[in-house]
Amino acid sequence: MAGDQLFIGLDSGTQGTKAIVLSRQKGRILAQANAPHGMIENERGGREQHPHWWTDACKLALEKVLGNRSVDRKLVKAISVSGQQHGMVPLDADGVVIRPAKLWCDTETKSQCRTLTERVGGDQAVRSAIGNDVAAGFTASKLLWLKENEPQNYDRLATVLLPHDYINFWLTGERRTECGDASGTAYFDVENRCWSKILLDAIDASGKLETCLPELIDAHNPCGILKPEIARQFDLPKKTIVAAGGGDNMIAAIGTGNIKPGVITVSLGTSGTIYAYSDKPIVDSKGELAAFCSSSGGWLPLVCTMNVTVTTELLRSLFKLDLKKFTSLVATAPPGAEGLLLLPYFNGERTPALPDAKATLHGMTPMNLSAQNLCRAGMEGATLGLRYGLDIIERNGISLKELRLIGGGSNNPIWRQMVADIFEKPVVLPKDAEAGALGAGLQAMWCYCNQTEGKTDLEDLCASFVLLDDTRRTEPAKATASLYRDIYSQYLELERCMRPLNQV
């Protein structure tokens, strides 16, 4: 390797875009930056964003990192994009966005989920066809919603892209996707790695949608080359490769070294996710496990909950607390919050599949109703919900020894200890907190090496760049873990009792 080679990772999430520049020679991140996104919400569960917000944020974040003194733009070899999953970006024949993108957290399309499931023949028929359920938030129901509610916009539809695909389209002009992100659409067959005609016909029997889909490419292949005008705008080399990219969870898996069996990643972000690598597809008979492909060539069985930092941020806002004061209040409350128990279904819930659910606070007395207990119950409720995801993971034969914790919540030592105690597993953090952006940078490097140096092992790249922070390793405390075992049983019983109301 003559001289250094630089790789850009872009992570376009719900709340903002992060960018890093990764040095192959120095083995570290040289620069990082971020830019925020807005959100369009309605009381029907609608959650939308304008796609140009993402590209505007990408521009801002790119200018920041490329303007860093330690970054030589001429050494950039490839870019990769991580994007929030499931969003629907509708383009017309000229490649113009037709309407705002409906996002992963949009539950306005829950009736369309039921309609599609019925058209295919029920839950088991859907799982047989694609390996997944038509979950609220997945892309398929958004397309049917568009067809039913905005027929004029549906008639204009010429291409449907996922958020990371759209950013790739902006960068390259190519309309392509890869199997990891595609498997979260609910019209992709994860076992056979192809679009599902059965589900596409259930949305629109005319066959139109088959002509609107992007080309499928392998995760190690490029999406294309940077468009000349983009290269000029950022003063980047004309032949800069844009890698396949992927969904945020798939790319964060790369950024945590979760590309071989035995590693489990847990993300405490806006939503919560728990996932593991598999070298074969794993389809859950109950449909609670998302049977995704990975963005590293395998599969990524995953469980997602809708309300993690959503919960803690709502409580911070309610009590007008900064992060430090919120954490201090949580610390003053004992484990179990003196009997307060919160089902944190503020945005409905995906696991269990309760898109109409509302949050429930149980166990209030005159003695325990305090700000500190409410804050503690919120953090615990979000974590207990993810603990249910571990049950699903283990039920499907996936074993684990430790958790690799990422997301904003992972920076909180109290939350780390809570995760270790509730999951009854050791918790370890990667040294680089930006797993999505780092994973994108590594996928860009993998793609470039495969194109220019021959077949390259992604595992070797991860071994060099994904380092664990042993100073923040957290072991479960036996006494507290035992207490949380009982509280988790109460949590499951409360959820069972509330389910009839939450299914209305």
CB distance 259 to 219 below 8 Å:
no
Percent of the chain with pLDDT over 70: 100
* Per-residue buried b or exposed e for 288-326, using 16+ beta carbons within 10 Å of the residue's own CB: bbbbbbbbbbbbbbbbbbbbbbbbbbbbbeeeebeeeeb
Output the domain CATH number for residue 114.
3.30.420.40
Mean pLDDT of all residues in 416-424:
97
23 & 128 share domain: yes
Average pLDDT over residues 352-358: 91
What would the pLDDT profile of 249-280 be if each residue is shown by its tens digit?
Answer: 999 999 999 999 888 999 998 889 999 999 99
How many domains is the chain built from? Answer: 2
- Round to whole Å and give the CA distance between 1 and 290: 40
Q: From residue 242, how far is each of 64, 116, 253, 271, 443 by CA, in Å?
A: 19, 35, 19, 28, 10
pLDDT of residue 433: 79
Do 205 and 327 fall within a single domain?
Answer: no
218 and 265 within one domain:
no
The pLDDT value recorded for residue 91 is: 98
Are 29 and 157 within one domain?
yes
Q: Are 420 and 440 part of one and the same domain?
A: no
Prediction pTM value: 0.92
Q: Please give the residue range of the domain that contains residue 378.
A: 256-430+467-504
Mean pLDDT over 388-412 rounds to: 92
pLDDT at 2: 55
Structural domain contains residue 327: yes
User: Is there a contact between 113 and 275 (Cβ–Cβ < 8 Å)?
Assistant: no
Domain contains 250: no
485 lies in a domain? Answer: yes
Residue 309 shares a structural domain with residue 237:
no
The answer to whether position 332 is within a domain reads yes
Query: Of the candidates 229, 221, 175, 244, which has an alpha carbon nearest to the alpha carbon of residue 59?
Result: 229
12 assigned to some structural domain: yes
Tell me whether residue 56 is one of the annotated catalytic residues: no
Are 199 and 305 in a shared domain?
Answer: no
pLDDT-above-90 percentage for the chain: 92
Asked if residue 249 is part of any domain, the answer here is: no
Mapped onto helix, strand or coil, the DSSP state of residue 479 is helix
Q: What is residue 474's predicted lDDT score, i.e. its pLDDT? A: 97
Distance CA 222, CA 406 (A): 27
Q: Is residue 1 part of a domain?
A: no
Residue 59's Cα: distance from chain center in Å? 22
Q: How far is CA 8 from CA 32, 75, 220, in A?
A: 10, 11, 16
**Mean per-residue pLDDT over the chain, rounded:** 95
Question: Do residue 460 and residue 480 come from a single domain?
Answer: no
Question: What are the pLDDT digits (tens) for 4-59?
Answer: 999 999 999 999 999 999 999 999 999 999 999 999 999 888 999 999 999 999 99
Rg of the Cα atoms in the chain? 22
- Are 42 and 70 found together in one domain? yes
Tell me which amino acid residue 146 is.
L
Query: Is pLDDT at 399 greater than 80 in this prediction?
Result: yes
Q: Same domain for 375 and 478? A: yes
Candidate list 106, 165, 248, 284, residue with the active-site label? 248
Q: How far is CA 108 from CA 41, 141, 286, 450, in A?
A: 10, 9, 23, 42
Q: Residue 391: how many CB atoms within 10 A of its CB?
A: 13
Q: Which of 87, 135, 130, 89 is nearest to 110 (CA)?
A: 135
Same domain, 203 and 264: no
Domain for residue 251, yes or no? no
Same domain, 393 and 331: yes
Cα–Cα distance for residue pair 140/133, rounded to 1 Å: 11
